[in-house]
Amino acid sequence: MKIVETVAEIRRELQTHRSKTIGLVPTMGYLHEGHLSLIKRARKECDIVVLSIFVNPLQFGPNEDFERYPRDLDRDAALAKQAGVDLLFCPSVREMYPHEILTEVRVRKVTDRLCGASRPGHFEGVATVVTKLFHIVLPDRAYFGLKDAQQVAVIEQMVKDLHFPVTIVPCETVREPDGLAMSSRNVYLSEEERKQAVILNRALTEVKEQLEKGLLITADEVNRYVRERINSQPLAQIDYVETLSYPRLEPIHHLDQRPIIVAVAVRFGSTRLIDNLLFGGKEESACSGQ
């Protein structure tokens, strides 16, 4: 595995591989099994696997955790090598943003709710940096986790709208044995917060069972059920609980429209966790803007 820090170098490295299938796995590092599942899928489907590690300041709000976001490049490089990455692209902030950036990519409507509403500017930061990464690497396929299901919807919309010649591959959420979605931010949790955080997946799993039995009929009923279950944990502070259409992320009333997403963001102390249930659709289709 080669570690590359500059745009010029990654372009040079990839120049001789243009006739092959190039897969990109964009991350912010501090790798866990969720990231590794994306890399392993890319390894199976592509000739060349590029992993990017970049904590993108553009997608963090002024009071968010950009500074304290966990970083460990040595450990990440060892894990990436073991998982079969060919090129690890880990640019500095200066390398990615050498001058004041006057251009931003904004995807409308699908960013109106959920994290788009509770983290203003977040998806403009994501769409802009992903555009930059796509232009730098020119991947044939790019792998994203459905834990960030709104992010997948935003990137898929962007790729379709702007004819990016890349196939987006959404990948299933990888969970801890007790069901908590793996996240780099889980390391922030205290022992007690970690125990209570399992309620996110538990509430969503219960809702899935109820939906399958036809016991919940409206989005309001689903939201109320999930809120009550999450509020049973004294350390949990709900940011949002919403049931929407997917991938358009529009409000729905009755649940006869499919697929739907039940999405949650919950704070435990200063740690904000997200999770979701996608119900009634193909969870792992690939989308292309070609």
Ligand X SMILES: CC(C)(CO)[C@@H](O)C(=O)[O-]
Contact by Cβ (8 Å): 263, 240: yes
Q: Select 28 or 260, whichever has its Cβ closest to ligand BAL.
A: 28
User: Which is the catalytic residue, given 17, 35, 122, 254?
Assistant: 35
Tokens of 264: 């949650």
Contact by Cβ (8 Å): 274, 265: yes
Integer Cα distance of 261 and 244 in angstroms? 5
Integer Cα distance of 172 and 181 in angstroms? 11
Place of tokens 């968010």: 64
Can you tell me which of 182, 203, 226, 252 binds ligand ATP, judged by CB under 6 A? Answer: 182
Q: Select 125 or 219, whichever has its Cβ closest to ligand X.
A: 125
Can you tell me which of 52, 59, 157, 243 binds ligand BAL, judged by CB under 6 A? Answer: 59
Task: With contacts defined by CB under 6 A, name the span among 7-15, 183-191, 214-222, 244-252 that binds ligand ATP.
Answer: 183-191
Burial track 197-221 (b if 16+ CB lie within 10 A, e otherwise)? bebbbbbbeebeeebeeeebeebee
Using CB under 6 A, list all residues that contact ligand X.
26-28, 56, 59, 126, 129-130, 148, 151
Contact by Cβ (8 Å): 287, 213: no
Can you tell me which of 4, 10, 14, 35 binds ligand ATP, judged by CB under 6 A? Answer: 35
Contact by Cβ (8 Å): 175, 202: no
Binding residues for (R)-pantoate: 59, 151
Q: What minimum distance in Å lies between the beta carbon of 172 and ligand ATP?
A: 7
Q: Select 155 or 222, whichever has its Cβ closest to ligand ATP.
A: 155
267 touches ligand ATP by CB under 6 A? no
Integer Cα distance of 120 and 20 in angstroms? 38
Q: Residue 85, SS3?
A: coil
Q: Select 59 or 196, whichever has its Cβ closest to ligand BAL.
A: 59
148 touches ligand BAL by CB under 6 A? yes
272 touches ligand ATP by CB under 6 A? no
Binding-site partner at residue 130 among ligand BAL, ligand ATP, ligand X, none, CB < 5 to 8 Å by type: ligand X
Question: Is the bond into 259 cis (omega within 30 degrees of 0)?
Answer: yes
**What type of residue is 32?**
H
Place of tokens 């919950």: 266
167 touches ligand ATP by CB under 6 A? no
Place of tokens 């299901």: 149
17 is catalytic: no
Q: Select 14 or 273, whichever has its Cβ closest to ligand BAL.
A: 273
Integer Cα distance of 164 and 180 in angstroms? 34
Q: What minimum distance in Å lies between the beta carbon of 254 and ligand ATP?
A: 29
> In what order do the strands lie in the sheet containing 236-245?
236-245, 260-268, 271-279
Q: Which single residue brings its beta carbon nearest to ligand BAL?
A: 148
Where in the sequence numbering do the catalytic residues fall?
35
Q: What residue ranges bind ligand ATP (CB under 6 A)?
A: 27-28, 34-35, 37-38, 144-145, 147-148, 171, 173-174, 181-185
